Structure 1
């Protein structure tokens, strides 16, 4: 289930069950050495480089040439930074196999160092030089501008015209020393920036994917490989391929978009979990709560579409129960109470209003575990209990629990899981420093990483709080970057009139911001209602047409017309759709990026789930 879907759940059930706004999220491993190819049989498909990944063809091309390779676990780790020593190793594989290694050695590169010969060859050929004091700093990350300058100098490109950099918005950030060589690299088509082709991003650490793109383009310039063919642009169709007549408050798509699970019903007491075929609109299964007076409010379907998990709560006691069932035959796979025992949290003030709720639910990408987050909170104040539980679906046993209160004093409001299941981002906010209108606004993102024992350890915390941002719609991309939408003005946010909404991309393993793009200033762009696509380039947003400040708080049944729009960060394409008489309840992209679903409810009483697909132009 997407962040946006969970947001709708939080608004609907927050006051009823004293819930935090819900979200969901996933991890990766580390190796300091950039491996070089060992055999002609090196595979070109990596588990973390999906078919629609922007650098897939560059990576596959260099892998086939034995210039780069992946890791023993079948991953490529495209977002990992590249050190100077690793870059030298790539240069040698690509351009310097016969280059002598008799250059003067650096003081900080001992004779037995793994990259000594590669560094010496790169120095001899003029690709890389050192620093004052005859040092090389092999473990420093190489910046994008340094990699481009290295290639332009080592391949002896003619000095470029600095005026050619004027096509890039951030040309002024290129260091003076690097401008001629960077211009030469640009004129040779070496500069590849995704998803912002009009930026050089010179002072950012180069990733493995970016280095692969630079080197491949240099091989194209040298006539050693064919240029990568431009792929036809694929755009979202504006007419749904299927319309399902159901009023849904939350939706979840299988990876291929062929199945959709939803919490649906005409009113609170008729809510149930249902699964449909998105291509035909046929209802496949309806799952009812195991007991009367239970209301489902969170749902997730497995990546392969064969399992569905949902959480129910009693209306007045907030008794929480997890259920996992088989979509094919309806069999019950797991049912467990999610209520924390009293000895697991400090005893609250008897006069305080407390409530327990669920901020997240996800079936792991391999379909073997279900991950839940349960909170116990003194309303409007401290959280007493907040825990991530990883439960084996086959046995029902909890394989790991993470006490989120042990990380910081903020109130945890959800989590999301990376597509490969190796990273989890837990999200939190601080109610004590903000007011009630800040319910569910993320101010802290903490990253957890799967270790060799198949358990998650704390990795890092993104420094988003340094910018005093209010964050929404956190989502991993298929390449394990983390996208989020943000606005920094609380006053404007409360009024639903933020002066600026940004789509930011972060590398969760290094806690570095990769890019930041300001979204168009349109009435349909609302920070809390921007859904982010798995490839990191598309977004969808919807917002009521405001007649007055009070329109924000109107009920769904009387909400004014809604404007919707979609955009592409890579191309800048933006499409604003005609206003419709419905309210946007939930939205989700399929992980393969081919389908999307929007759940709507009309002020005239009709409700449906619309399925959209991408077309090849």
Structure 2
């Protein structure tokens, strides 16, 4: 291509600005090689009418031709940078007398384009689609917190690491135009003139400088509800995970290894490890919890040879152990090969606000039931015992109200829910199941969550009378909302017909309406895994092979432990 043809095709020298984008007067844009049926016809026509792009002297536009980095800079200049000053910083391979010198340096100064190591720009190199989209997203300052948008693209793995966040932003801003396959980004293929016209057109639409096309079938406009439920990240784990937890914001994830000898804290979104705490062989971690702000980790620890149980606290960012407090000596005959005594599963949780840690651990088992299991509240700052609540049940789930003043506990039997006033240590009330058929078949409370300081949502099961039971039916599942201050039932939903005998109710979301269910045999999760349901309509989500799951306190993220690692998801019902 000659320089004169090049200048003509790009409209160099024509003043254009985002503020005054109006169709050029007496401009004819009927290119002989862009028919009205061409997929990019309307994009090309609009930009040609605005003098942002032009055709060639022979009346063609050459929509399939590649475009160089210098040519792309010239288009950026016409569309966005008419008044931008030329940067004083120059690329070593773009001399001042080069035809695209001003456009390239304006694009660099405005943040649209950057060079390669060694201060070179490679102006004659064709620009890849991914580079063009990254340039527009960066130059216009677009960001996004929806990394799962990448999973819309069938070839997402081909997107370079440096470009992934910018491609997410470009996708959310509807800059991406994919032809012929909307689900394939083909990021590393060189961009054509037609594709660049479409990208730039959409950027101008996003900047409210031009109207969107009445019909734009190849613009990627993603409804988050239609996205495949793919993980934002997968955190590696060594074997099965015994325990896991998320900070309130969902930014940090703590996991306890299968061997109970290592605690790791990860940045959940990027799968970057923050810290690792490893035992010396003489200690074992029984359970672990992370603070709401993600800066502290607590664990109940058993130490040999005394089998002493202690509560330890660390600073996540420095790895420094802040304090350790004695809980007693584990008792029992059941020991593993290392000499550790089997301890019933412990409860450990930070109080909202992170000023205190609530723990419950049994020192032994009598007739199969945990014994001597007081609830104790410790000061996070000093490790001092703030409150000890004795004569309690051994709870398989404990929950704190958002203000940290109330404690709810479900015993292993599931026959009741105790509500405690934490500061005074007094029992406020007990909810008991009203339906009981016999000692083996009765109404059980399964899962609960505080949705406010006074409302508690509870999932429970009760058997259908024999005469009404279907051959393969499970117990009736009921979702209740209780006012814990008055003891009144506020809402009751029992129409959860899709639950069957292969489901296990695992965990309620913080909104109290959605729940993760462990599914043993249903085909849609391929033998076993987790799926999300609610009382209103099924949610198209499942995690094959998941065996443990947790929500963050805000309810916008959750993590599922699988044999492939811990998968981290956005929760967007």
TM-score, length-scaled by structure 1: 0.48
Q: 1:127-168 CA distances to partner (integer Å, 9 max, x unpaired)?
A: xxxxxxxxxxxxxxxxxxxxxxxxxxxxxxxxxxxxxxxxxx
Shift of 1:425: 1.0
Shift of 1:414: 4.5
CA contact (8 A) 2:529 2:542 kept: yes
CA contact (8 A) 2:464 2:476 kept: no
CA distance in 1, matches of 2:572, 2:230: 11
CA contact (8 A) 1:496 1:526 kept: no
Aligned in 2, Cα 1:358/1:382: closer, same or farther, shift over 3 Å? closer
Superposition pairs of residues 19-38 of structure 1, within 5 angstroms: none
Residue 518 (str. 1) matches residue 490 (str. 2): no
SS in 1 for 2:250: coil
Residue 258 (str. 1) matches residue 251 (str. 2): yes
Q: Which has the higher contact order (CA 8 A, sep 6+)?
A: 1
CA distance in 2, matches of 1:608, 1:491: 42
CA contact (8 A) 1:476 1:482 kept: yes
Superposition pairs of residues 86-165 of structure 1, within 5 angstroms: none
Aligned in 2, Cα 1:252/1:526: closer, same or farther, shift over 3 Å? farther
Per the alignment, residue 266 of structure 2 pairs with 276
Aligned in 2, Cα 1:609/1:526: closer, same or farther, shift over 3 Å? same
Residue 575 (str. 1) matches residue 544 (str. 2): no
CA distance in 2, matches of 1:317, 1:235: 55
Higher alpha-carbon Rg: 2
Per the alignment, residue 475 of structure 1 pairs with 449
Aligned in 2, Cα 1:322/1:527: closer, same or farther, shift over 3 Å? farther
Per the alignment, residue 111 of structure 2 pairs with none
Per the alignment, residue 322 of structure 2 pairs with 333
Per the alignment, residue 543 of structure 1 pairs with 519
Give the CA RMSD over aligned residues.
Answer: 3.7
Per the alignment, residue 323 of structure 1 pairs with 312
Per the alignment, residue 229 of structure 2 pairs with 238
How many matched pairs?
333
Superposition pairs of residues 173-572 of structure 1, within 5 angstroms: 238-246=229-237, 247-265=240-258, 268=259, 271-289=261-279, 291-313=280-302, 319-339=308-328, 356-380=343-367, 383-405=370-392, 411-428=394-411, 440-450=412-422, 454-464=423-433, 468-489=442-463, 498-518=474-494, 520-522=496-498, 528-545=504-521, 561-569=527-535, 572=536
CA distance in 1, matches of 2:455, 2:342: 34
Shift of 1:255: 0.9
Q: Which runs of 5+ in 2 are unaligned?
A: 1-222, 334-340, 437-441
TM-score, length-scaled by structure 2: 0.52
Residue 612 (str. 1) matches residue 569 (str. 2): yes
Q: 1:240-291 CA distances to partner (integer Å, 9 max, x unpaired)?
A: 11111214222111111111111124xx26x4111111111101111123x4
Q: Which runs of 5+ in 1 are unaligned?
A: 1-231, 349-353, 429-439, 548-558, 602-606
CA contact (8 A) 2:417 2:445 kept: no
CA distance in 1, matches of 2:479, 2:226: 20
Aligned in 2, Cα 1:585/1:487: closer, same or farther, shift over 3 Å? same
Per the alignment, residue 587 of structure 1 pairs with 549
CA contact (8 A) 1:297 1:310 kept: yes
Aligned in 2, Cα 1:382/1:264: closer, same or farther, shift over 3 Å? closer
Aligned in 2, Cα 1:383/1:256: closer, same or farther, shift over 3 Å? closer
SS in 1 for 2:433: helix
CA distance in 2, matches of 1:496, 1:253: 36
Aligned in 2, Cα 1:377/1:294: closer, same or farther, shift over 3 Å? closer
CA distance in 2, matches of 1:285, 1:597: 19
CA contact (8 A) 1:358 1:372 kept: no
CA distance in 1, matches of 2:414, 2:532: 23
CA distance in 1, matches of 2:557, 2:427: 33
Shift of 1:477: 2.0
CA contact (8 A) 2:455 2:484 kept: yes
CA distance in 1, matches of 2:509, 2:376: 27
CA distance in 2, matches of 1:304, 1:377: 33
Per the alignment, residue 56 of structure 2 pairs with none
Per the alignment, residue 80 of structure 1 pairs with none
Q: 1:558-614 CA distances to partner (integer Å, 9 max, x unpaired)?
A: x97215432233xx121354683x2x321111121211111112xxxxx21111114
Q: 1:405-432 CA distances to partner (integer Å, 9 max, x unpaired)?
A: 4xxxx5544422122201101232xxxx
